Copies of this chain bind each other. A is one copy, B any other.
Amino acid sequence: MSKILGVLGGMGPLASAHFMLRLTLLTPAERDQEHIPAVLWSDPRVPDRTAARLGGGEDPLPALLRGIRGLEAAGCGAIAIPCNTAHGWYAAMQAATALPVLHIVEATADELARLGVTEGPIGVMGTAATLAMRLYQQGLEQRGWHCLVPEAAEMEGQVTPGIALVKANRVAEAYAPLAEVARSLVARGARAVVLGCTEIPLGIAAGPALPFPVADSIDALARAAITWARAD
């Protein structure tokens, strides 16, 4: 086990810590030395991705590239980014490094397939920027799924505040608004719901399990990273 996984995190920091936990728990291992070596670059100072994309806020790309340089210098062999919205800058990041950058949308599409959801409408929850950039709509529609997204009022009243609650460490309070929107997507016909912002699975895990398939983008990225680490 000599490949080191680079994790560009801090967006948010709770989500990237949770990613490290899930990476460990999903790795078959009997003792420390069988786990995957990793370096987590947790820089919560990266300018807000949603504000940059939708509100003319500061460009996060320079901070993202600083993190990638740090992970390269640490000897990492691939990069995982447990922040969906940051994948709006995926092409620029991948162009700036020779290391493979795992793509969270592809990983989540693989997760949907793993859950046995091979067709039909898929509900997608994410930040307003992730939805506006159509990261999931493009990624999933290429593979034959059709996407349903929350209504504008649900984004404003539940999804965006739910994500902010997790970033403010108020995880338990995030369950109700996030779960309500997931249920509403299923009521509109979704066969499964993609938790396409890494804060959302934390909120959803804080209450009763939802009675339909959910594709958790944190677990999906962790599985993709384990597959990379275990490949020759």
Contact = CB atoms under 8 A, between A and B. Distances in A.
A20 B32 contact: no
Interface stretch (A35-43, A114-122, A203-211): A35-43
Contacts of A64: none
B32 A21 contact: no
Interface stretch (A89-97, A98-106, A135-143, A164-172): A164-172
Contacts of A43: 37
A10 interface: yes
Contacts of A45: 1, 32-33, 37
Contacts of A25: 14, 169
B13 A24 contact: yes
A32 B48 contact: yes
A74 B76 CA distance: 13
B17 A32 contact: no
Given A12-B24, A30-B168, 13 more contacts: A11-B32, A14-B21, A14-B24, A20-B42, A27-B169, A29-B167, A32-B48, A32-B167, A33-B47, A37-B45, A39-B70, A73-B73, A74-B74
